[in-house]
Each structure stands twice: as C-alpha cells, then as structure tokens.
Amino acid sequence: MKTRRITYLAAALALTLGAVSCEHDEIYEPLEFSVRLSPTNTYRAGDPVVFNFQGNADFITVWNGDTGHEYKYRNRTQVALEDIESCQLTIEISQQYGGNPEVSNLDMIAGNKFPGLAGNDAAADRPIVEAIAQSNYADWQVLEYTPNKSNTFETYTYDITPYADNFSFGLHLYQEPGTAMRTYRINPSITVKLKGYDTQEYPYSSMKFITFSLAPQHADDPYIHNVSGNGNLKLQGEPGSNSAANIVFQGFSAGVMEQIEQWAFMQPIALNSISPDTGQSIKGVPDDVPSYSYTYDTPGTYTATFLAGTGNYQGESGIQAYEVTFTIVDRLE
C-alpha cells in the first residue's frame, strides 16, 4: 500500500472574540487551552481525525470545517447569486374531468418582479392581481405543460435560476361561463444547487400561498379558499384542505358554477438564502473530554475551529477560538 506524506498546519491560533464575563467577587481563572492533531492520524477520507486537548477549558464547541460547519460562515444567511449553480422548480400535476382535453383551464407562471400580497387587505391586493391579469403575464414566464384529463400525475421541471433573487410562482384558474372546469392536483417543490454548500430543498411546506379571486361572486371575500364543494381551491396545511395533493382545485360540470377567476401566488423568497453554519458543543463543565474525533468523507483542506472557555464558581474567562488546518487525501485501496 502506498502512502502519501501529509503536511498540515497544527498551530493553534488564538483569536480573541471579546469577553463574555460578568463581574465576580470570586477568583478569576484564566483560560489555558491547546488543541493538537493526534500523531496517529492517517488523514485519508473515511478515517477519523482525532484532536487532542490540554488545559482547563470547561466549555468546548467545534466547527468541523466541512460543508455547513465552517466557523467563518457562522453568521452567513445568503450566498452570492453567482454562487448558485441551478434552481429548479418541479411540478407534479394531475388533471381530471373538464371538456376538451387539449384546452387548459390553468396557467402556471414564474417570475421575480412580484411584490407579494398582504393576504388581509383586499383594497391593496386587488390592484396587484388585476394588473397581472390585464398585462397578459408581463414580467412572468409562462410554464408550459400538456393539458389532458388523464387523472395521472405527471412531472414537469423548469429552470428558475434567472428568478432566484426574488422567486415567486403563480396559478391562474379560469373558465368561460357555461363550460366545464377541470380538476387540478398540484405538488410543487424547489431544488437549489449552490457552489460549496449543501443542496437546498424547498418542499411545499416551506412555501406560503395566498389566494385571490377576481370573480364577481367573490367580491366580498376574494381570499376564499379551503371551503367544501366544487369550484373551490384548497391549500394543504390549512383547515379544510384536501389530502389528494398540496394544492387542489375541484372542477365541475358545465353550467354548474358562475365565472371562475381564481389566483394563487407563492409569496416571494430569495433562493440564495441559507442557514448559518453551525457548531457542535462537545464539552460542558462536568465532562472529561481529552480528545475529539471526526470523520471527513471528502478529500480537501479543512480548518476545524474550537471555541473554548472556562466558567465555574471561581469565575469566567473570555471565549477564545483555536484553529487547526489539515488536508484529507483520497483513500488508497
């Protein structure tokens, strides 16, 4: 078996982050702490890397340095838009009943110019929806799909990367008076691939939809939804929802209902948003933790950061950060 010589930076770099202590009458105990790589480490992907501790730290928290756990990104909530590799909207849609199978009663649109709806102020929301209706979807991309009434779920994917900064998704359900209306069942989800970060998944449960009807019969209650009966839109996760899909519009036969002019908009979200990187507490006051191990599965250079401090009846030290940098190589078979 061949082995490669591994060089690494094992010097602990103390970075003062500011005192977190309060005034005490007790004896102040300064922090004495060091972290070093174990001399028995092999630094191959899939093998544990062991860190040895010395000193009097009562608390230790570690950022392992791999994706999602880098100390330098502990306050990061967004990545640059150019670090987005792709954004994909996936729509599962089932269509049932209705008239001519080649005629659609639903338009799906995507864009990044939509300001969102208040959801409780019809006077403010109505002009926004009316402007979209009258503009023939200006500033929106119409998402193409094949109309049918086969009552089977079909999956469509759409590239929404150009709209990542303020993405929104809209549904427009409509029909001419006296004609049949199709039933639609829709499951939306979003997948965002980022450079150097975990893929972000947005299921329906992370989306917020607001409905708005422009039909005359709904003038007094334009936000109507999740009521029983045909001709109504239902959103999963709210009372009265339909378990058949996340979003369900129940169709009806010709002549049963008046005009349908129903809209539903997902409130805009920035698809370059991410959760801050996180650390893990590995030692509290009563714990005896002489070492810590972690396995890195992907080759690369990592910087593990340890926050250490003291805090007992004798006093508190300031929190200090210690970094250890090392390289993991491909595992040799």
Spatial neighbors of 8 by CB under 8 A, at least 6 apart, are 37, 43, 324, 325, 326, 327
Pairing of strands 183-194, 247-249: antiparallel
Task: Write down the domain spans for the chain.
Answer: 15-76+276-328, 81-266
**CB 188: neighbour CB atoms within 10 A?**
21
Q: Which CATH class is domain 15-76+276-328?
A: mainly beta
Residue 279: phi, psi to the nearest 5?
-110, 175
Q: Is the pLDDT of residue 9 over 60?
A: no
Contact 271, 206 (CB under 8 A): no
Q: Hey, what are 208's tokens?
A: 């917020």
Point out which residues pair with 37 in neighbouring strands.
51
Task: Assess contact for 183 and 96: CB atoms under 8 A.
Answer: yes
Q: What is the mean pLDDT of the chain?
A: 88
Global pTM exceeds 0.95: no
Per-residue pLDDT tens over the stretch 18-62: 333 344 445 557 889 999 999 999 999 999 999 999 999 999 999
How far are the Cα atoms of 36, 40, 58, 260 from residue 290, in angstroms, in the given order? 11, 15, 12, 69
Give the whole-number percent of the chain exceeding pLDDT 70.
89
- Residue of 232, 174, 164, 173 whose CA lies nearest to 200: 164
Look at strands 84-96 and 168-175 and give their pairing.
Answer: unpaired
**pLDDT, greater one: 214 or 177:** 214
Alpha-carbon distance values, 163 to 88, 140, 151, 152 (Å): 10, 10, 31, 29
Query: What is the distance between the alpha carbons of residues 308 and 281, in angstroms, rounded to a whole number?
Result: 10
- 3-state SS assignment for residue 131: helix
Beta carbons within 10 angstroms of residue 42's beta carbon: 14
- pLDDT value, residue 3: 26
Distance of CA 42 to the CA centre of its chain: 36
pLDDT bracket for residue 66 (50, 70, 90): very high
Nearest to 34 by CA among 50, 13, 8, 55: 55
Q: Is the dihedral of CA 202, 204, 205, 208 positive or negative?
A: positive
